[in-house]
Amino acid sequence: MSPVVNYKMSELKNDRFLRALLKEPVDMTPVWMMRQAGRYLPEYKATRAKAGDFMTLCKTPELATEVTIQPLDRFPLDAAILFSDILTVPDAMGLGLYFAEGEGPRFERPIRSKADIENLINPQMDEELGYVMAAVSMIRRELDGRVPLIGFTGSPWTLATYMVEGSSSKEYAKVKGMLYDQPQLMHMLLDKLADTIIDYLNAQIEHGAQAVMIFDTWGGVLTTRDYNEFSLRYMQKIMDGLNRESEGRKVPVIMFSKGGCQWLEAQADAGADALGLDWTLDIGAARARVGDKVALQGNMDPCVLYASPERIREEVATILESYGKGSGHVFNLGHGIHQFVDPEHAKAFIEAVHELSPAYHK
């Protein structure tokens, strides 16, 4: 496939995020925040109001570009993340995504049977998902080499939870019911999703994504055996199918199974360049367990941002000290930033990482 990135590619002015993911030397620890473009920012709320609703915001490349850049104009972040959602994929497969006000995502046509799986649309990356690719291209152009752009997807298992439940869930009754009662159906769905996701991430890379992240938000609700069989295995399939080089550079892959710290060793062998960590595991202990196999991304509790800037700085210092010297750490929160956090506290967090981390890279 010929590259679709048809504008003149400028050199990256700040590549410490990509370097840290590949464990190459850096001057300081790079930092970004999951959900860095979002409702805690008044300018995001203003653009979202202009769009009318969340999906229109995702589907209008100019507006998606605007909100992607907003946190970078406020804070010295080391990476941008495509503004979109993991549920664009099931939506493009025909499930009819909508957001009921105050209730989170819902699907008009959830998956309940073998026929539902067979009838899923095989989405085309330049048609049903063309708006995502248009946003990736436009964001790259707008970034003009400022920082790298992260593309992303949900994991097959995490997408399946929404597709079978039809909404967010607390108990996973329907999706786990299918997993235990009709495992062959679950495999059929996960396999289809993995194939689509391979195309989806490769298309993002082709349009200019410089690293990609797999969000396995609900991997941690599975038993150890089921995590391996129904989640990790399909993420491994995706990583085997990705184009890991573009524009003459490696495209690092970050895998994040929230609640999955107990399976770190298995994750480190799955083929990712880096693992995302939630806040429950000490990052120094995680580093000792994965050794040189992968870089680590994380892992401050997002709730620390409700504390004072001084307390936030202390927590940053503790995490940096725990990781220790050397490259291979991308600082982040252990999950997305909450909507009621004061942006000034996010700023204190990011600045603390940059001020305190150079000592660990001498």
338 binds ligand CP3 (CB under 6 A): no
Which residues are catalytically annotated?
Answer: 35, 39, 48, 85, 162
Quote the tokens at residue 106.
Answer: 């819902």
Q: Phi and psi of 130, rounded to 5°?
A: -60, -30
Which of 56, 113, 168, 223 touches ligand CP3 (CB under 6 A)? 168
Query: Sign of the CA dihedral 79, 136, 247, 271?
Result: positive
Closest CA to 198 of 187, 212, 210, 184: 212
104 binds ligand CP3 (CB under 6 A): yes
Number of chain residues interacting with ligand CP3 (CB under 6 A): 21
Which of 14, 22, 39, 116 touches ligand CP3 (CB under 6 A)? 39
Residue 274: CB atoms within 10 A of its CB come to 26
197 binds ligand CP3 (CB under 6 A): no
Question: 52 — alpha (psi -120 to 50), left (phi > 0) or beta?
Answer: left
Quote the tokens at residue 223.
Answer: 């038993």
Continuous segment of H or E residues that includes residue 159: helix 156-165
48 binds ligand CP3 (CB under 6 A): yes
- The residue number whose beta carbon is nearest to ligand CP3 equals 217
From residue 176, alpha-carbon distances to 118, 194, 223, 290 in Å are 20, 19, 11, 30
Which of 30, 90, 105, 110 touches ligand CP3 (CB under 6 A)? 105
Which of the stretches 12-20, 35-43, 191-199, 260-268 binds ligand CP3 when contact is defined by CB under 6 A? Answer: 35-43
Smallest gap, in angstroms, from Cβ of residue 97 to ligand CP3?
9
Quote the tokens at residue 231.
Answer: 């989640």
Lookup result for tokens 């993991």:
86
54 binds ligand CP3 (CB under 6 A): yes
65 binds ligand CP3 (CB under 6 A): no
Smallest gap, in angstroms, from Cβ of residue 248 to ligand CP3?
26
70 binds ligand CP3 (CB under 6 A): no
Smallest gap, in angstroms, from Cβ of residue 217 to ligand CP3?
3
Nearer CB in complex with ligand CP3: 27/103? 103
Q: Are 40 and 345 in contact (CB under 8 A)?
A: no
Write the DSSP assignment of 294-320 as a string of letters: -EEEEEE-GGGGGS-HHHHHHHHHHHH
31 binds ligand CP3 (CB under 6 A): no
Which of 75, 215, 230, 349 touches ligand CP3 (CB under 6 A)? 215
Residue 240: CB atoms within 10 A of its CB come to 12
Can you give the binding site for ligand CP3, defined by CB under 6 A? 34-39, 48, 54, 81, 83, 85-87, 104-105, 152, 154, 168, 215, 217, 336
